[in-house]
Amino acid sequence: MKQVLLALGLLLLTMVVYYWAGNRFVPKKGELLVSTGKEILFEAPEDILVDTEKEIKLKAKHEKGKIVSFLINLSYKPDEIKILSAEINREVFNSGVEVQIDENLGKIMLRGRYEGEKEMLINEEIKLAIIKIKGIKKGETTVLVEKTPMIEVWDGEKITEESFELLDFKLKFL
């Protein structure tokens, strides 16, 4: 009997430790799990009505440098979502601005570059672009990252290409 209770106790302890370890590093709703000072974020409404125009904000932050250029390639399912437009933040990125939307293949390319005195830039979270969308049908769809985003950062002395992680994100249409 003691052996059965001991085995049951160990099983219960194992389950508690597994649950604790599995949920310890999961971010709460609305929070991001950040491991580095470099991040690209999508700000999108949680639930979007079909045939309603909404904006998705694409933002970036680098803790130790100032973002001077970016190139981001995304893909989506053109039968589930319509990209109405995409606009680069021209307050920051004043040169080499390019937006390409291929509705047939479901691809978006966003590019921007800052030309000027780099001391004027901020190294806080900045808006890269705004993408205007409209849902075509009800359900969930995912916007995928085609390639690793190319981001150039000025650290006060030189410009280097940094590796930023951008995860695929889901949109839900009601």
Give Cα separations from 157 to 66, 119, 122, 160 (angstroms).
11, 10, 15, 10
- Higher local confidence (pLDDT), 24 or 131: 131
Share of the chain above pLDDT 70, in %: 88
**Contact in structure between 124 and 61 (CB atoms under 8 Å):** yes
Q: Are 165 and 140 in contact (CB under 8 A)?
A: no
pLDDT of 14 strictly over 90: no
Q: What is the pLDDT of residues 48-62, one digit of tens each?
A: 889 899 999 999 887
* Cα separations in angstroms, 83 against 8, 76, 164, 172: 55, 9, 24, 15
Q: Across residues 8-25, what is the average pLDDT? A: 70
The mean pLDDT of the chain is: 83
Q: Is the pLDDT of residue 155 over 90?
A: no
Q: Which fold has domain 37-173?
A: Immunoglobulin-like (2.60.40)
Residue extents of the structural domains in the chain: 37-173
> Quick check: 37 pLDDT over 90?
no
